[in-house]
Amino acid sequence: MYSILTNILKQKNVLKSTTTNVNRYVIFNFHNKIRQFGSTSVNHAVPTAENPPMRILLLGNPGAGKGTQSSRMQKNFNITAITSGNLLRQNIAKGTTVGKIAAKHMEHGEFVPDDIMIELIGDELQRNKRQNWLLDGFPRTINQAMALDDNLNLSGQSLNLVINLQVPEEVILQRIMDRWIHVPSGRVYNLSYNPPKIHGIDDVTGEKLTKRDDDNPDIFKIRLQKHHALTEPLLEYYNKRNILITCNGRTSDEIYPQIESELIARFNVISPNNQVKTSTEKNLLKVATRENL
């Protein structure tokens, strides 16, 4: 790349033949172009005919870190996160028909009926049909999974990856004890590894953070038991379709590289954070530093 640019510039009499002038011109006028060239040649996170959209379902025990992994995937792979809990809160806040029905069930501690959830999730998936998307919080049962498949088939979509996060229960227990949330946005903080800048305050809005009512050891253990009973058949269902992977670890930093490797291998994409500068870029930056440009 360096020699090609240099020869072109010399032929057009843009530069003198001195190395310093060539370096200066390339640094100032081609540095961004080189970076763009490197990015467009490897970043295939945008859906194309050769790289079909990601249709990902994220599973895991309560407190396994689904929100954290979802945020990293959104940042690095151009993925839209569709979270059932957030959708419910948004519809309840807006007073939509679905939101009003859901609110009545939730006020009585009942699960929102499957048909309501399918309508809610289905509409959002349709809106994001041409985008990569990641689904979190739904489905939770076999019946819901089958209903989701039927809904996706109607719009010509289908899940192509299910990621199950496997974290030791003692680690999850500590996490939920340290967890604080910003209810309006769904942002989650953890005092151990992702604390807010100011204790008890949301970084973005400055509003107060709260604890979930069920974030205590006794209730959590009951939630885990119920979760296992529902999830085991679900994992078997997706495993038979050969779209299930399980990522094990005690921390998000142990788990995320496993997710990233799978996305790269399965969807022919590369995380922007992993794009390495070319040797030309490195050499140009060295020259710039050396000559105080």
Q: Is 95 annotated as a binding residue?
A: no
Q: Is 109 annotated as a binding residue?
A: no
Q: Is 290 annotated as a binding residue?
A: no
Q: Is 65 annotated as a binding residue?
A: yes
- Contacts of 220-224 with CB under 8 Å at 24 or more apart are 220/62, 220/63, 220/172, 220/173, 220/176, 223/62, 224/61, 224/62, 224/169, 224/172
Q: Is 188 annotated as a binding residue?
A: yes
Residue pair 148/82 in contact (Cβ under 8 Å)? The answer is no
Q: Is 66 annotated as a binding residue?
A: yes
The percent helix, strand, coil of the chain (3-state, each to 5) is: 55, 15, 30
Q: Is 185 annotated as a binding residue?
A: no
Q: Is 229 annotated as a binding residue?
A: no
Q: Is 28 annotated as a binding residue?
A: no
Cα(7)–Cα(144) distance, integer angstroms = 62
Give me the active site residues, please. Answer: 66, 140, 179, 212, 223
Instruction: Tell me how far CA of residue 38 lies from CA of 1, 4, 278, 285, in angstroms.
Output: 11, 16, 8, 16
Cα(88)–Cα(118) distance, integer angstroms = 12
Least Cα distance to 165 among 58, 56, 57 occurs for 58
Q: Is 131 annotated as a binding residue?
A: no
Single-letter code of the amino acid located at 16 = K
Q: Is 55 annotated as a binding residue?
A: no
Residue pair 77/263 in contact (Cβ under 8 Å)? The answer is yes
Cα(170)–Cα(178) distance, integer angstroms = 13
Q: Which residues are annotated as a binding site for GTP?
A: 63-68, 179, 188-189, 252
Q: Which residues are annotated as a binding site for AMP?
A: 84, 89, 137-140, 144, 212, 223
Q: Which residues are annotated as a binding site?
A: 63-68, 84, 89, 137-140, 144, 179, 188-189, 212, 223, 252
